[in-house]
Structure 1
Amino acid sequence: MAELAEEAGITVRTLRFYRERKLIPPPRREGRIAWYNEHHLARLRTIGALLERGHTLGGIADLLSAFEAGRDVGELLGLQSPLLPPWSEETPVRLTPEQLADHFSRDITPENLSTSFDIGYLATDGDEFVHISRRLLDASTELVNKGIPLTAVLEAGRKIRAHADALADIFTTLIHTHLLPHDLAHTPTPTPTPTPTPEDLQRIAHTIESLRPHAKGVVEAELSMAMDRRVRAELEGRLRDRNGEQADMREEGEAEA
């Protein structure tokens, strides 16, 4: 227990308290010896990251209990709506601590784990991690393999998340302002919002579902064209710099001659 506490950067007293609250699984026992492993350490680091984000121990216990009972965290937090189909088509990925380390090697640090939890890329499920998206995991792994530090990848992910939220705001404003039933979208503020009928909800769900490919197409087209503009500008700038250096070298050679 003392070795685990030291490795996790907490006191033995805190570790005992976590055990009493059942925030970590019990150790493997051989007689009077209690053996802890990397799964316990990963759980402690997860708890530390969640505490840094402002979660209470009671809230963390609820989250971990929900994971272990097979409940969805969105359900626990009241974020899932049974009325509308999910827009996202992303597939979560379950990873053991060893598998996560295989993806990112030495870049698995408490700071990077904390950032991943903060952005929402990672969650915990028992002794395993759950990554929110197979595509995001694959892209992050490839960028790290190309030599970009995971810290920089996560910071880019945080910025992209902010821009994605802004894009989502634009699309939802368009839908709310122009496509929702008139009596639901434009009711004056002092008037109580009317309760939508099952037919209203079905129509809204169908409208949102039909717009999915168009919204994705707009974002992909704009991003592709923006990348073309930036890459072209970058290459032209480098070409100008190289031509300028060559011109300077020629002038120096002529001066020496």
Structure 2
Amino acid sequence: GGPVGWPAARASAPVIRHSLRPMADGRLSYREEVLRLLLEKARPRFGDCELQFTGLVPQARAFSELENGRLDLCAAMTDVDRERRAVPVRYCLYRGLLGLRVGLGLPETVKRLESVDSLEALRAVRFGLVQDWPDYAIQRAAGLQVVRLATVSSGVARLRLGGFDLLPVGAVEADDVALEFELAKVWRWGLIYPTAFYFFVSPQQPQLAERLKHGFEVALHDGSFDALFGRFVE
């Protein structure tokens, strides 16, 4: 990515190495749009900086790389272990809406499962979750049937082969994931639990955490974060 701030950033501008996944069509992802907004809002106080995409990194590895300083920033759902290993910027990018999980599956499976209306029926559904997502532990602890996945894309391949019934994803990202993998969406029910999705910063970059916190405060105060979030959820 190029410099954030003035068109010509100073040669000494710090480089922020991140693992935010770009959109398949080349557009900025919502997460990177938020990051760029915060950096722009923080620029008058903290100066210019430059973004560098390091490539897609599984979440478990991302936190190891934050710890050892090979990565400066990632975005992820929070849990106790992650907040111990990296510095959370405690403003939820999705205003808590990732805690509403919507099931995606094959059209015939979704049609059959739309009628789930009890805990007993829910516990008969086989959910597939990526093993390093906090949701994996949350849903297992709730007594649900959870199949362990390595990645979303390999999980969808297993879904098509009947390895499990539904892939639960955050309501705010369900349409994009359904479109990308040509899956149907359960409309009549979902799973809900409190959670937050934060930017996490390497413990070796405390000033970056302060830069982002300040940027969030400015963007919330002037309404620009709400405007960006509103466009995203439309």
TM over 0.5: no
- Greater helix content: 1
What's the TM-score bracket when you normalise by the shorter of the two chains? under 0.3
- Higher-Rg member (1/2): 1
Tell me the TM-score normalised to structure 1 length.
0.22
Higher strand share: 2
Pick 1 or 2: higher relative contact order, CA cutoff 8 A, min separation 6. Answer: 2
